[in-house]
C-alpha cells in the first residue's frame, strides 16, 4: 500500500494550533501543491469561521496545468506523513519529493494568483461561511494530478471569513 501525506493551509502546528486564513472577497488560493511525481487526492476538506448566515462562497479543488501562484512556501515538515508515521519525509527545496517546495511551488496563502488559462475541476461546491465540507474519493476513483501539475484549493466569498483546509494525497 502506498504512503499517504496531509497538508494544511498553514505550517505544521508546533507550540500553537494552526491559524485559519482570511478568504477575502476575491479568488484566493488557500493551498497549492506541486507534486514531483503523479499523486492521487484521497480526501480534502475545508471549514469556515463565519458565525452568521450569509451567502455561500464558491470552493474549488482544481488543477491549473503548470500555472502556479506565489505562496508562502511549505517547509519539509509541513508535508506530514498521514497513514504511516514512519513514511519518508518530504525532501526540501524546489526539487523536493513528494512535493516540490518553494514560493512558486507548494505552499499556502497565495498573494499572486497568476494568469490561469485552463483548469480541471476535482470538486466544486457552494458552502455557507458557517459551514464545513469533507470529500473522500471512492477507492480507485481518486482525483489525479500529474507530476509538476498544480493542485489548488481556491475560495471566493462575498465577505471575508477565515478558513482551514487540507488535502490528503498518495504519491
What per-residue confidence (pLDDT) applies to 46?
Answer: 98
DSSP conformation class of 37 = S
pTM: 0.96
What per-residue confidence (pLDDT) applies to 19?
Answer: 87
Residue 114, by phi and psi: left (phi above 0), alpha (psi -120 to 50) or beta?
A: left
| Sign, CA torsion 164/125/66/111 | negative
Going residue by residue through the chain, which has 171 residues, state the pLDDT in tens, using 9 for 90 and above: 689 999 999 999 888 888 899 998 899 999 999 999 999 999 999 999 998 888 999 999 999 999 999 999 999 999 999 999 899 999 999 999 999 999 999 999 999 998 898 899 999 999 999 999 999 999 999 999 999 999 999 999 998 999 999 999 999
The domain of 49 spans 5-12+21-170
State the total domains in the chain. 1
Amino acid at each position: 500500500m502506498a504512503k499517504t501525506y496531509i497538508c494544511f493551509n498553514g505550517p505544521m502546528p508546533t507550540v500553537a494550533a494552526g491559524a485559519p486564513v482570511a478568504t477575502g472577497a476575491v479568488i484566493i488560493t488557500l493551498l497549492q501543491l506541486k507534486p514531483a511525481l503523479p499523486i492521487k487526492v484521497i480526501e480534502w476538506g475545508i471549514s469556515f469561521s463565519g458565525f452568521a448566515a450569509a451567502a455561500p462562497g464558491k470552493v474549488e479543488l482544481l488543477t491549473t496545468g503548470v500555472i502556479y501562484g506565489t505562496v508562502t512556501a511549505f517547509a519539509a515538515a509541513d508535508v506530514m506523513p498521514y497513514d504511516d508515521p514512519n513514511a519518508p519525509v518530504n525532501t526540501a527545496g524546489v526539487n523536493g519529493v513528494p512535493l516540490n517546495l518553494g514560493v512558486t511551488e507548494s505552499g499556502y496563502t497565495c498573494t499572486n494568483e497568476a494568469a490561469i488559462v485552463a483548469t480541471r475541476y476535482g470538486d466544486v461546491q457552494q458552502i455557507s461561511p458557517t459551514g464545513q465540507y469533507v470529500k473522500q474519493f471512492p477507492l480507485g476513483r481518486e482525483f489525479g494530478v500529474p507530476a509538476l501539475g498544480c493542485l489548488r484549493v481556491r475560495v471566493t466569498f462575498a465577505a471575508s471569513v477565515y478558513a482551514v483546509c487540507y488535502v490528503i494525497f498518495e504519491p
